Amino acid sequence: MNKGKIYPQYFVIIGLLVYTIFFMTPSIIGIGYSLTDWNAYNANVNFIGLKNFKEIFVESGRYLKYISNTAIFAIVTTAFKIIFGLILALILNEAFKTRNILRAIFYLPVTLSPLAIGLMFISVFRPEVGLVNRLLSAVGLDNLTRGWLTSVKFAMPAVMSVETWRLTGYCMVIFLAGLQTIPQSIYEAAKVDGANYWQRLIRLTIPFLKPSFMINIVLNLIWGLKVFDVIFALTKGGPGDATDVINTAVFFSFSMGRYGFATALGVIAFTIAMFLSFIVIRVLSRREVEW
Amino acid sequence: MKRKIMNKILLGIIAWLISLIILAPVYLLIINSLKDRTAASLMALTPPEVFHWENYLTAIKEGRLVRSFLNSMLLAGSSAIINVFTASMAAFVLSRRRSRINKAIYYFFLIGLVAPLNYITVIRTLQVFNIMGSYQGFIALYSGWLMPFGVFLYYGFISTIPRELDEAAIIDGCNSFTLFFKVIFPLLKPVTITLLILNFMNAWNDFQTPLYILNRSTRWPMTLAVYNFYGQRLADWQLVSATIVLTVVPVVIIFIIGQRYIISGMTSGAVKG
C-alpha cells in the first residue's frame, strides 16, 4: 500500500511550522542577535562580534557568578529532590490505607503555579512572623531565626528549599513508577537468601531504579537551569544579586533595553540545555530499543 | 504478622507527619486569606476568629481578576485544544512513516522538550507577524511551545496501535482524513485527555511568557495579575493570599479530577506503560 497516501506528510506540516517559527527560529536567530548591540535606544543593530560574550565571561565578574549560582541551584536542588523523592517513594510504595491520598498531597505542588508558590513562601520566610521563624522559636532555637530572604547568606538556601518543596513530588512519582517495574520474585529470592531490608535496597532496588535516576537527574538539572518564577517571586535575585541566576539576568538586561546582551545570556542557557538535551534524547531513545 | 501491621501503621504515621511540610504552607495561605488585615499580617497558624469571605470579593474587584481569569481560560484553553490536534496528526505520520526525514523531524521536536525559549527574539518574531502583545500571538507561541511534549506522548502511544487497523480501514474505504479522525483519534483518548490537562495547566501557570510579551494589562492572565496585585498591596496580606488561592483553585480542581491522567502523562517519559 502507498504509505505516502495513507500517511500524508502534510499532517506534520502545521505543527512543525508553528513549532519551528515560534520556538526554534527565535532560538537560532538569537545566536545571530547575541553578536550585536541590539538595544531599545538605537534603531540600528550593529554587529559587534563576541563583545557581549566577552563582557559576560571576562570583563564583568557578575555574570559568571549568576552562571555559577544557576549551576549551584540546579545541582543542589536536584540532589535534594532525588533524595527526598526516593525516600517518599519507598514509604508510599508500601501497601497501607491512606497512601493514595498521601501520594496526591506530595504531588500537588508540582501542578501549582511556581509564581503562586513563590509568593506563598514569602510569608513563610518573613522575619518576625513567618512560619519558619515561628517554628524555630517554638522549639527554643530563637538564635537561628532571621530574615531568610533578606540575608545574603541564607537567601539562596531558602530559594532552593522552595524549589525542593515544589518538585520533590515529581521525583517521587518517577521513582514510584520505576518501583512498579521491579519483579517481586527477585525480592522473594533475596529474602530466602537472607538479605535484610538495607541489603535489598542497595543491591536490588537502587540498581533497578537506574533509569528513574537518570530521568530525574537530567530533567531536574534542566528545570534548575531554567529557573525563573520562584526566584523572581521570592527575591527578584536579591538581596543585592545573591540569588540572581541566568534567567533573572536575562530579564533585567531586557528591562534595561539591552536586548543583544540579554540574548547572549539566553544563548548560553540554550547551549547548556542543548548539551543536556543530547543526553536526554540518548537516554529516551535507548530505552525505546531496550523495551 | 503482627509486626508487619505495626510497621505499616508506623509508616503511615511517619508519612502523614512528613506531609505537614506540604500542607502547612497551604493551610497558612488559606486561613490568612480569610482573616482581617491585622490578623493576616501576623501570619499565625491559628484559624481566623471571624471568616472574612468578603476578602475574596475585594480581591476580585480590586485585582480586576474576572478579566484575567477569562484571559487565562482563553489562552490556556485554546492553545491546549490546538495542540492536541496538531501534535496528534504530526505524531501519527511520524510514527507510521519512519523515513529518514521523519526520524529527523521527530528528534527536532524532542529538542524542544528541554531547550529554553528565547523570549527576546520571540518578541522579534511576533513583531514580524504583527501579532506581538495580542491573543493570537500568545496562542501561536503556546501552540508551538507545547508541540514537543504532545508529539512525544502521542508518538509513543500510536506505536502501540497495530498497523493492520489502518490497512483494514483503508480497504473499507477510509481516506487518510477519515482514517485518522474516525479510527485513530478516538483510540488516542487517554493521551488526549492527559495532554489537554497538562497543556492547560502549563499554560495557566506560565508567568514568564506574559511577563515578556503582554504589555497591556487588559490581556493579562491570572499569574501576571496576581503578581501585579502583590506588588501594589503588599500590606494587605489577606487580599494577596486570596488572589493566590484564586489562581491555584482551578488547577487544584483539575488535579483532583484528572489525577490519574496527570500522573500517567508525567511518568510516561520515564517508564513506558
Quick: pLDDT tens for A93-110: 988 888 889 999 999 999
Q: How far apart are CA B6 and CA B3, in angstroms?
A: 5
Q: In the predicted model, is pLDDT for residue A133 greater than 90?
A: no
Of A97, A79, A103, A288, the C-alpha closest to A180 is A103
- Other Cβ atoms less than 10 A from the Cβ of A183: the count is 9
* Cβ within 8 Å, pair A14-B89: yes
Calculate the CA B89 to chain-centre distance: 21
Cβ neighbours of residue B194 under 8 Å, at least 6 residues apart? B153, B258, B261, B262, B264, B265
- pLDDT at A18 (0 to 100): 93
**Chain A nearest-CA residue for B5:** A96
Sequence ranges of the domains in chain B: 63-267
Domain span including residue A249: 61-290
B75 min Cα distance to partner chain A (Å): 15
- pLDDT at A260 (0 to 100): 92
Burial class (CB in 10 A: 0-12, 13-18, 19+), B20: exposed
Please answer whether residues A266 and A53 qualify as being in contact, where contact means their C-beta atoms are separated by less than 8 angstroms.
Answer: no
Please answer whether residues B115 and A27 qualify as being in contact, where contact means their C-beta atoms are separated by less than 8 angstroms.
Answer: yes
- A274 belongs to a structural domain: yes
Q: In the predicted model, is pLDDT for residue A182 greater than 70?
A: yes
With the C-alpha atoms ordered A194, A197, A203, A208, is the resulting torsion angle positive or negative? Answer: positive
Q: Which residues on neighbouring strands pair with residue A47, listed in sequence order?
A: A36
With the C-alpha atoms ordered B160, B164, B170, B172, is the resulting torsion angle positive or negative? Answer: negative
- pLDDT at B273 (0 to 100): 30
Burial class (CB in 10 A: 0-12, 13-18, 19+), A274: middle
Nearest to A111 among B21, B145, B262 (CB): B262
Q: Where are the beta strands (DSSP E) in chain A?
A: none
* Cβ within 8 Å, pair A11-B89: yes
Q: How far apart are CA A121 and CA A112, in angstroms?
A: 13
Backbone angles phi, psi at A227, to 5 degrees: -55, 135
- pLDDT at A1 (0 to 100): 57
Q: In the predicted model, is pLDDT for residue A130 greater than 50?
A: yes
- Asked if A256 is an interface residue toward chain B (Cβ–Cβ < 8 A), one would say no
> Mean pLDDT throughout A102-120?
93
**Chain A nearest-CA residue for B79:** A18
- pLDDT at A69 (0 to 100): 94
- pLDDT at A288 (0 to 100): 43
- A97 belongs to a structural domain: yes
* Cβ within 8 Å, pair A277-B113: yes
What part of A 149-168 touches B (C-beta under 8 Å)? Answer: 165
B221: alpha, beta or left, given left = phi > 0 and alpha = psi -120 to 50? beta
What part of A 183-222 touches B (C-beta under 8 Å)? Answer: 211-212, 215-216, 219, 222
The H or E element spanning position A254 is helix A246-255
Cβ neighbours of residue B186 under 8 Å, at least 6 residues apart? none
Backbone angles phi, psi at B29, to 5 degrees: -60, -45
* Amino acid (one-letter) located at A137: S
Best B92, B120, B171 member to test A by mutation, with max A CBs in 10 Å, is B120
Buried b (16+ CB within 10 A) or exposed e, A112-129: bbbbbbbbbbbbbbbeee
Nearest to A22 among B115, B141, B226 (CB): B141
Query: Across all residues in chain A, what is the average pLDDT?
Result: 88
The grid coordinates of residue A173 equal: 512519582
Nearest to B272 among A94, A254, A291 (CB): A291
Which residues of A are less than 8 Å from B27 in CB distance? Answer: none
- Asked if A12 is an interface residue toward chain B (Cβ–Cβ < 8 A), one would say yes
B106 min Cα distance to partner chain A (Å): 10
DSSP string, B62-112: HTTHHHHHHHHHHHHHHHHHHHHHHHHHHHHHHHH---HHHHHHHHHHHHT
Q: Can you list the residues of chain B whose pLDDT is less than 70?
A: 1, 268-273
- A229 belongs to a structural domain: yes
Cβ neighbours of residue A223 under 8 Å, at least 6 residues apart? A74, A167
The H or E element spanning position B26 is helix B2-33
**Chain A, chain B: beta-carbon pairs less than 8 Å apart:** 286
> Mean pLDDT throughout A167-188?
90
- A131 belongs to a structural domain: yes
Three-state SS at A15:
helix
Please answer whether residues A255 and B211 qualify as being in contact, where contact means their C-beta atoms are separated by less than 8 angstroms.
Answer: no
Which residues of A are less than 8 Å from B212 in CB distance? Answer: 251, 254
CATH no. for B63-267:
1.10.3720.10
Instruction: Pick the most confident of A76-90, A124-138, A268-282, B152-166.
Output: A76-90
- A248 belongs to a structural domain: yes
A153 min Cα distance to partner chain B (Å): 23
Q: How far apart are CA B196 and CA B265, in angstroms?
A: 11
Q: How far apart are CA A261 and CA A252, in angstroms?
A: 11
A175 min Cα distance to partner chain B (Å): 9
Buried b (16+ CB within 10 A) or exposed e, A133-168: bbebeeeeeeeebbbbbbbeebbbebbbbbbbbbbb
Please answer whether residues A237 and A248 qualify as being in contact, where contact means their C-beta atoms are separated by less than 8 angstroms.
Answer: yes
> Mean pLDDT throughout A237-249?
92
Q: How far apart are CA B147 and CA B109, in angstroms?
A: 7
- pLDDT at A290 (0 to 100): 38
**Chain B nearest-CA residue for A30:** B121
* Cβ within 8 Å, pair A18-B9: no
- Asked if A3 is an interface residue toward chain B (Cβ–Cβ < 8 A), one would say yes
Which residues of A are less than 8 Å from B233 in CB distance? Answer: none
Structure ipTM: 0.89
Cβ neighbours of residue B261 under 8 Å, at least 6 residues apart? B190, B193, B194, B197
- Asked if A236 is an interface residue toward chain B (Cβ–Cβ < 8 A), one would say no
- A30 belongs to a structural domain: no
Q: How far apart are CA A281 and CA B214, in angstroms?
A: 33
B36 min Cα distance to partner chain A (Å): 16
- pLDDT at B154 (0 to 100): 93
- Name the pLDDT band for A129 (thresholds 50, 70, 90): confident
* Cβ within 8 Å, pair B105-A12: yes
Overall number of domains in chain A = 1
Q: In the predicted model, is pLDDT for residue A291 greater than 60?
A: no
Of A280, A272, A263, the C-alpha closest to A28 is A263
- A124 belongs to a structural domain: yes
**Chain A nearest-CA residue for B9:** A96
- pLDDT at A89 (0 to 100): 94
